[in-house]
Structure 1
Amino acid sequence: MSEQKSWTLKSIAKELGISNATVSNAFNRPDQLSKKRREEILESCQKLGYSGPNKAAQSLRKGQSNIVALVLPDSVEYMISDPVASDFVKGVSSVLEKSNVNLLLFSGASENINAVSDFVDGFICYGSPRNPNLVEQLRTTAKKVVTADFDIDRKASVGIDNEQAAYDISKLAIKSKNDDIAILGLRLLDSNLTCRVYELPDDEGTPSIAHKRLAGYQKAIKEHGAELRNDRIWNIPKSSHEVALIAAREALTSTPRPNVILCMSDLIALAVLQEICAMGLNVPNDIRVVGFDGIDEASRSTPPLTTVHQNSEEKGNMAAELFINRATNAVVIPYHIEIGHTVNSN
């Protein structure tokens, strides 16, 4: 037999002197051949270096690849280190694997979903991508799209009621109109700077998660008759301990020092607790702190953190189920408040 550098189904069939269909059946439909005949064909193909029909070409012909691209809001490197995102990915993958569907992680900082669009059955998008161009591409693609924690008018979506959850957790932390309140926000601004927020940009379309949580905080503050000073909101560009510490130190050294700190993630809240401890202050007697997410570290902190548990793994389960079932509805999943020791019980 002659040597050939690159085999196709057609050329390997010609080389073996059999039909294209017989080669295809040997790889894809073993019930169509006797065991002996199939083994002979596969052995000959192996000797020639032919591993079977091109899977990408098969996928294009069938219009199905059994691969779903999970579009993350930021770089893959950052997102896999985030415990909330990790729980979501775990939830998505556990459902897809049961349906023999593979998962491709796609960075929200990328330029174009078209790089993978031809090779996937569709997209699950977790949070609004950092690159705004991807949002429009996801809105207009012909492929199936399910969004989590934001909406692009593709109908299939899953999330929690962020505004109500933020309101509920704030009600536990704020005790009177005399409270001095600080908010450590997460991506309130489209900026990489950790800074005070004196003016929020106008929302175009659907408000972001951060703005919904801020609205919940503001509602609770107003109901208590308290005042949120215009220098008491911080923008933190990403949910990481090191970046959050910068805002925590600035807030805790403000004059007067706030006695209530509302944090838009547990990682931010844990950084605040560390700094409060380093200053020799007491939680909750001197300062009351609440978080948002319900990560495992929150329950193990000293003291245990009061936070919103948003059931991220369940959210991932639901996103995957919506995709597999080709659903077109929006699903709001429940959250619950985990009561720790960072607010007064009375």
Structure 2
Amino acid sequence: MGARVTLQTIADQVGVSRMTVSNAFSKPDQLSATLRERILSAAQELGYVGPDPAARALARGSTGAVGVIFTHSVRFAFTDLVATGFLGAIAEELAPTGLSLTLLTSSDDGDIVPARDVAMDGALVYSCDWKSQAVDFLHRRKLPLVYVDQDVDDDIPSVNIDDRGGAAAAARHVLELGHRRIGLLLSGTHGPYGLLATPEAAEGHSSRQRLLGWLDELGPAGAELISARQDSATPEHARWGARLLLDRPDRPTAVLCFSDAIAYGVLQAAAELGIDVPGQLTVVGFDDNPLASQVRPTLTTVRQDLAAKGRAAAAALTAAIEHARTGAPAPVEHIVLPTELVIRESSGPAAAPPRPGSAR
């Protein structure tokens, strides 16, 4: 094995100082293009790839990474189309800054607690239980934070979408089509599952806001509500929740869903039960993820701009990290992005509701 190549090795080869070689890698604007090219060529010839990242991070007091804290498992980031779209936009926005994403769960089981133990310059708290120990650890570490899809905190920058307004638009849509017996399909990981006597058991910021938006319109209209709650938005759970609403004699003529993934489960359950969409049932989702325009019938939904949300979240976090680095007062901005109702094939006028005991 040959001798270890260091910055001094390259400096001796080119005939410059060790600091000049270091600047060629970390502060290229300090050197002429010709000199930097000479140094990099010598480094390549000697087999030197650059300063040790850990040492560079220690020297500048930065890890070069930002965390994204999930309530769900990290697998959720790769399987949920909304999460993947959001994270992709963050990664694209962060690319020019040199910051990388570290995906972490809010789990506090085991010896390693990500929010406590993983090195990062700041974190996005994404759709988490704000009472979790993970969020508490982030605050105690005094890391720059940005909340996304979370209840607003006066002291923490946040990025949300107009969940309530979008849900209200969906509810108005089904009312305008003549629907008065309407199903609400919620999602969550805590509390009772199954049919709900009242729909107020929404969990998390987005769920609560979407429920409030539905009720803003359906309550004054005197609509008859049939609500159910399921565990997560997997296809199996979504079909199970949907059948609670549809496999009954007084089934709703329209179903408003917390997400497009859940709405897809309603479409599957309707097909299994021989219920025509939209002839006998209108289905409305939320998010406008790629699935919404690929399923048949295509799905009426509320669109959120995932790319804009990701860019806004990344920009807010990089600004918070920079303010923390310089010690400058950090402005706290609460961004709310608009939503848009997208009407597709799963919407139809209310059909006569089935009578108890009648054939489907």
Q: Normalization by structure 2: what TM-score? A: 0.78
Cα gap change, 1:215 to 1:2, in 2 (>3 Å):
closer
Matched position secondary structure for 2:145:
strand
Tell me, in whole angstroms, the C-alpha distance in 2 between the residues paired with 1:343 and 1:28: 57
CA separation of 1:27 and 1:139: change in aligned 2, threshold 3 A? closer
Answer yes or no: is the 8 Å Cα contact 1:135–1:152 preserved in 2: no
Deviation for aligned residue 1:151: 3.6
Match of 1:332 in 2: 336
2:326 corresponding residue in structure 1: none
Q: Tell me which residue corresponds to 2:165.
A: 164
Choose 238-247 or 296-305, whichever is displaced more: 296-305
Deviates more, 1:138-147 or 1:261-270: 138-147
**Offset at 1:250?**
2.1
Aligned mates of 2:7, 2:40 — CA distance in 1: 17
Q: Tell me the equivalent position of 1:341.
A: 345
Distance 1:240 1:93 in 2: 25
Residue 345 of structure 2: SS of its match in structure 1? coil
Of 274, 277, 284, which residue of structure 1 is paired with 2:278? 284
Query: Residues 54 and 304 (structure 1 numbering): CA distance in 2 closer, same or farther, change over 3 Å?
Result: same
Alignment-derived partner of residue 252 in structure 2: 258
**Superposed displacement of residue 88, structure 1:** 0.3
Q: 1:129 and 1:44, CA in 2 relative to 1: closer, same or farther beyond 3 A?
A: farther
Identity value in percent: 29
How far apart, in 2, do the equivalents of 1:44 and 1:98 lie? 28
Q: Deviations over 1:199-238 (max 9, x none)?
A: 67889xx96211221121122211211232xxx3222221
- How many angstroms does 1:315 deviate by? 0.5
Equivalent residue number for residue 298 of structure 1: 292
| CA deviation map 1:18-55 (0-9, x unaligned) | 98657745754674996799579847975xxx765432
**How far apart are the structure 2 equivalents of 1:126 and 1:102?**
16
Please give the per-residue CA displacement for 1:180-216, whole angstroms capped at 9, x wherever unaligned: 22211021x515x74233467889xx96211221121
Q: Where does the alignment leave 5 or more consecutive residues of structure 2 unmatched? A: 321-330, 351-360
Shift in Å, 1:273: 1.2
RMSD of equivalent CA atoms: 3.6
Of 203, 219, 224, the residue aligned with 1:227 is: 224
Name the aligned partner's letter for residue 222 of structure 2. G
Distance in 1 separating the partners of 2:286 and 2:126: 17
Residue equivalent to 1:108: 106
CA 1:38/1:201 → structure 2, altered by over 3 Å: closer, same or farther? same
- Please list, as runs of the form range in 1=range in 2, the aligned pairs for 1:1-346 lying within 5 A after superposition: 21=19, 24=22, 28=26, 31=31, 38=39, 42=43, 46=47, 53-109=51-107, 111-117=113-119, 120-128=120-128, 132-151=132-151, 153=153, 154-175=155-176, 179-187=180-188, 190-191=190-191, 194-198=193-197, 208-228=205-225, 232-326=226-320, 328-344=332-348
C-alpha deviations, 1:240-272, integer Å up to 9, x for none?
212101111222112311212111011111111
Q: Distance in 1 between matches of 2:231 and 2:133?
A: 19
The alignment partner of 2:302 has SS state of strand
Query: Unpaired segments of 5 or more residues in structure 1?
Result: none
Q: Aligned pair count?
A: 331
Distance 1:61 1:92 in 2: 26
State the Cα distance separating 1:292 from its structure 2 match.
0.6
SS of 1:56 mapped into structure 2: helix
Distance across 1 between alignment mates of 2:175 and 2:41: 76
Using the TM superposition, name which of 60-69 and 303-312 deviates more. 60-69
Deviation at 1:285, TM superposition (A): 3.0
Contact 1:262–1:289 (CA<8 Å) still a contact in 2?
yes
In the alignment, the residues of structure 2 paired with residue 58 and residue 293 of structure 1 have an alpha-carbon distance, to the nearest angstrom, of 41
- Secondary structure of 1:213's partner? helix
* SS of match in other structure, 1:254: coil
Q: Is the 8 A contact 1:71 1:129 kept in 2?
A: no
Distance in 2 (CA, whole Å) between partners of 1:245 and 1:255 is 18
Distance 1:2 1:93, change over 3 A: closer
Could you tell me which amino acid in structure 2 is paired with residue 107 of structure 1?
T
Aligned residue for 2:66, secondary structure, equals strand
Deviation at 1:93, TM superposition (A): 0.9
In structure 2, relative to structure 1, the CA distance for the partners of 1:139 and 1:235 (3 Å cut) is: farther
TM normalised by structure 1 equals: 0.80
CA distance in 2, matches of 1:215, 1:239: 20
Cα distance change on mapping 1:11 and 1:108 into 2, 3 Å: farther
